[in-house]
Amino acid sequence: MIGLGTIINSVGIVLGGVTGLLFGRFLKERFQDTLNMACGISVLFIGIAGAMEGMLHIEDGALSGGQALMVVICLAVGALIGEAIDIESRFETFGEWLKRKTGNAKDKNFVDGFVTASLTVSIGAMAIVGAIQDGISHDWSILATKGILDFVIILVMTCSLGKGCMFSAIPVFVFEGAMTLLAALIRPFMTEAALANLSLIGSILIFCVGLNLVWGKKVRVANLLPSILLAVIWALV
């Protein structure tokens, strides 16, 4: 059974998209461009904060770094796997299908908005931890909190990238719903180290999403998604 937390999170994304559409239609193009830049910069710093939290620590009163080898190997191997599967094109194909089925064939930003928003709100430890907690103990508080955060993120993104952003609720619903249903099987693998690695790599991918928002599409972020699974395997091995 799909957990209440997944439903709350998905509804929060849709409401954020609807609210963003209502506000966005009153904004001139230059305001939307500036808002898109502000959104990109915000996503960059969210990614930087998460990555630094995972790579830096205080040891003997001094700031030390770590996890560099894990990051390099997971991203490099994950990129090779992702490119071989070509996850990015599959995301875009699904986005094109959604665009046609929802009557938005003339919306040139639909697919870009869908893919960008989906990657931003789907990647991260909160989704997995919250879904597992919801599935095992029916505690949906983490996903409800994530729903509020995603509401704000999707609201801002929709103002600049359009209605495709609100359809990011679909991959979030599928991903978190699957995690909730499989919570009992997944939980033993989600050790503290595994979650820390997942959060670190996820934050780096969110940083890459921010890069694309600010400077145009430079990184095929979806093709880096296997890196997250490799980060979890790294912790277990």
pLDDT at res. 1: 67
Phi and psi at residue 82, to the nearest 5° = -65, -40
Q: How far apart are the first and last CA of the chain?
A: 32
Specify the pTM.
0.85
Q: What does the pLDDT look like over 96-106, one tens digit per residue? A: 999 999 888 88
> What's the helix, strand, coil split of the chain in %, to 5?
80, 5, 15
Residue-wise pLDDT for 152-210, tens only, equals 889 989 988 889 999 999 999 999 999 898 888 888 888 889 888 988 998 999 999 98
Residue from 150, 133, 152 nearest 142 by CA = 133
Count CB-CB contacts under 10 A for residue 10: 24
Domain range spanning residue 160?
4-236
CA-wise closest residue to 148 among 126, 131, 133: 126
Grouping H, G, I as helix, E, B as strand and the rest as coil, residue 220 is coil
| Res 54: pLDDT | 85
Does the pLDDT of residue 223 top 80, yes or no?
Answer: yes
What confidence tens digit (pLDDT) does each residue in 42-55 have? 889 988 988 888 88
Average pLDDT over residues 34-42: 86
Segment 18-26 shows an average pLDDT of 87
Selected residue with higher pLDDT from 198 and 61 = 198
Nearest Cα neighbor of 38 from 237, 234, 213, 224 is 213
Share of the chain above pLDDT 90, in %: 46
pLDDT at 71: 94
Structural domain count of the chain: 1
